[in-house]
């Protein structure tokens, strides 16, 4: 580090000038980091040496070689070769609390934890209400100790259908500010902001949880495909086009797990008094954690109600979605976001998929074979298949075997409610 200090003094460059030059080279180093690092006598990181030497106008190759030789000598003598990068202020710890109740996810959590320790990006996908955020948070808390430089959390969830999701530049700005970058130093351009984020993350172990990602394009420039940081993404779609990503898809709980969740929420005494009513209630919730949580919250607020009363109310399909709401938690609103993402898309295939959803939802039990769907829709079979598979990717339709499709009950009821809007999508597709 002494040689780097002497180099800066020889060139006569100020920290501000070095900061500007590093930005122009695409390897931005804030002047506060420069000043802090150059004051220390520890061996600097390789990237730091290359950036400073290049900003001073010299060839960094000889300096990089010298730094590597010194690192080897320090390592063999028992001294650390790679100090932790400079961090201003305390490391951020932004993860929301781990969910109090999470049952039936032991296998998926095991996969998630293993993946997060070996894969730079992990995507948790599934249908609305399946518990993606809860599983991701539980896994993130389990491994948080492996990321001493911070854990970041950004909720990308749209508040209302039709709202524009935040873009890469906005997300990068949030992350950079959380990591100590002053707002005035955050680039407005998405590419520059992503590059700055990679620079700031270099050499650090940071865990990033981006909750409810709308599309791969929204986060592709930001995910850390190299280095020591890790990202967890939750999404209604699988985001399979992201490089270096592992994937965990959540499905509804088993019936036994759904009943166990209700017991954890309501207490064993209440559940054991009406086992059949509880089983029926779990089925009417589609075994979805969101539905189970809402049903349990409604019963908790009405301790004098037998469980069968709520089960009877939910059994009426005309009012079922109305019953699935408590405070600001609403199954209908959750489904509406997925519907709007497709219906409001500029992609004709997405709008066609919404049209197909309306037709299939009107069938008995919302089930159809591919050939039957093509005949009902009066379209070529390959066109119908693309639309149905688009719905599978959006986690609005299930496909247990090739050529067989089923709309989950709550999605089916929502689609029937929106039948007129679905018809208009057919006109524009």
Q: Please indicate whether residue 347 or residue 161 has the higher confidence score (pLDDT).
A: 347
Is pLDDT of 163 > 90?
A: no
Q: Please indicate whether residue 86 or residue 160 has the higher confidence score (pLDDT).
A: 160
Q: What is the pLDDT of residue 424?
A: 64
Q: How far is the CA of 9 from the CAs of 3, 4, 44, 113, 381, in angstroms?
A: 10, 9, 18, 48, 72
What is the distance between the terminal CA atoms of the chain, rounded to a whole angstrom? 63
Instruction: Return the C-alpha torsion angle 180, 183, 187, 192, nearest 10.
Output: 10
Q: Give the model confidence (pLDDT) of 62-105 as tens digits.
A: 877 787 777 666 655 544 444 444 455 688 999 999 998 899 99
Please identify which residue in the block is written with the tokens 């948070």.
137
Percent of the chain surpassing pLDDT 90: 56
Q: Please indicate whether residue 402 or residue 3 has the higher confidence score (pLDDT).
A: 402
Q: Please indicate whether residue 288 or residue 55 has the higher confidence score (pLDDT).
A: 288
Q: Please enumerate in sequence order all residues whose Cβ is within 8 A of that of 224, keeping only pairs 6 or more positions apart, or say none.
A: 120, 121, 198, 201, 208, 230, 231
Q: What is the pLDDT of residue 244?
A: 85
Q: Is 365 helix (H, G, I), strand (E, B) or coil?
A: helix
Mean pLDDT calculated for residue range 207-235: 91
Q: Give the model confidence (pLDDT) of 335-378 as tens digits.
A: 998 888 888 888 888 889 998 998 999 998 889 999 999 999 89
**CA 230 – CA 147 distance, rounded (Å):** 9
Q: Please enumerate in sequence order all residues whose Cβ is within 8 A of that of 367, keeping only pairs 6 or more positions apart, or say none.
A: 360, 404, 405, 406, 407
- C-beta of residue 298 within 8 angstroms of C-beta of residue 323: yes
Q: What is the pLDDT of residue 322?
A: 94
**CA 52 – CA 317 distance, rounded (Å):** 67
- C-beta of residue 248 within 8 angstroms of C-beta of residue 123: yes
pLDDT band at 40 (very low <50, low <70, confident <90, very high): low
Q: Give the model confidence (pLDDT) of 119-148 as tens digits.
A: 899 999 999 999 999 999 999 999 999 999
Q: Give the model confidence (pLDDT) of 270-322 as tens digits.
A: 999 999 999 999 999 999 999 999 999 999 999 999 999 999 999 999 999 99
When computed from its CA atoms, the radius of gyration of the chain, rounded to whole angstroms, is 26
Q: What is the pLDDT of residue 82?
A: 44
Percent of the chain surpassing pLDDT 70: 89
Q: Please indicate whether residue 389 or residue 418 has the higher confidence score (pLDDT).
A: 389
**CA 369 – CA 390 distance, rounded (Å):** 15
Q: Which segments within 70-204 are labelled E, that is strand?
A: 121-125, 151-155
**CA 216 – CA 178 distance, rounded (Å):** 22
Q: What is the pLDDT of residue 178?
A: 93
Q: Please indicate whether residue 383 or residue 77 has the higher confidence score (pLDDT).
A: 383
- C-beta of residue 237 within 8 angstroms of C-beta of residue 394: yes
**Residue of 38, 42, 61, 37 lying closest to 50 (CA atoms):** 61
Q: What is the pLDDT of residue 177?
A: 93
Q: What is the pLDDT of residue 165?
A: 84
Q: Look over the chain and give the mean of its residue pLDDT values, rounded to a whole number.
A: 87
Q: What is the pLDDT of residue 150?
A: 93
């Amino acid at each position: 580090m002494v040689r780097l200090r002497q180099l800066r003094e020889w060139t006569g460059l100020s920290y501000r000038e070095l900061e500007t030059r590093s930005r122009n080279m695409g390897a931005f180093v804030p002047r506060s980091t420069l000043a802090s690092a150059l004051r220390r006598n520890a061996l600097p990181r390789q990237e730091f040496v290359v950036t400073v030497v290049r900003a001073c106008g010299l060839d960094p190759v000889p300096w990089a070689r010298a730094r590597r030789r010194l690192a080897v000598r320090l390592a063999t003598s028992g001294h650390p070769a790679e100090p932790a990068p400079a961090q201003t202020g305390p490391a951020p710890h932004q993860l929301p609390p781990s969910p109090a109740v999470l049952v039936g996810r032991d296998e998926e959590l095991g996969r998630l934890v293993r993946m997060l320790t070996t894969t730079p990006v992990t995507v948790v996908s599934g249908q609305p209400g399946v518990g993606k955020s809860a599983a991701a948070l539980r896994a993130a808390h389990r491994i948080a100790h492996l990321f001493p430089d911070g854990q970041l959390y950004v909720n990308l969830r749209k508040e209302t259908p039709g709202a524009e999701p935040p873009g890469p530049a906005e997300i990068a700005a949030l992350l950079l500010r959380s990591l100590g970058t002053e707002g005035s130093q955050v680039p407005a351009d998405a590419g520059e902001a992503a590059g700055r984020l990679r620079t700031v993350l270099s050499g650090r172990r940071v865990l990033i949880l981006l909750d409810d990602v709308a599309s791969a394009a929204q986060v592709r420039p930001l995910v850390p495909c190299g280095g020591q940081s890790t990202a967890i993404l939750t999404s209604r779609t699988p985001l399979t086009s992201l490089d270096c990503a592992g994937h965990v898809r959540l499905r509804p709980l088993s019936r036994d797990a759904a009943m166990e969740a209700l017991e954890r929420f309501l207490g064993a005494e209440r559940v054991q008094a009406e086992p059949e009513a509880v089983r029926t209630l779990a089925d009417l919730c589609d075994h979805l954690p969101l539905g189970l949580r809402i049903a349990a919250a409604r019963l908790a607020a009405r301790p004098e109600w037998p469980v069968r009363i709520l089960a009877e109310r939910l059994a009426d399909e005309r009012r079922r979605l109305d019953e699935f709401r408590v405070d600001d938690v609403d199954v209908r609103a959750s489904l509406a976001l997925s519907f709007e993402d497709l219906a409001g898309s500029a992609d004709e295939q997405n709008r066609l998929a919404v049209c197909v959803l309306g037709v299939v939802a009107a069938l008995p039990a919302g089930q159809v074979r591919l050939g039957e769907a093509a005949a009902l829709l009066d379209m070529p079979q390959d066109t119908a298949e693309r639309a149905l598979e688009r719905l599978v990717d959006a986690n609005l339709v299930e496909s247990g075997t090739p050529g067989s499709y089923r709309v989950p009950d709550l999605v089916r009821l929502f689609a029937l409610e929106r039948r007129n809007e679905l018809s208009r999508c057919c006109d524009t597709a």
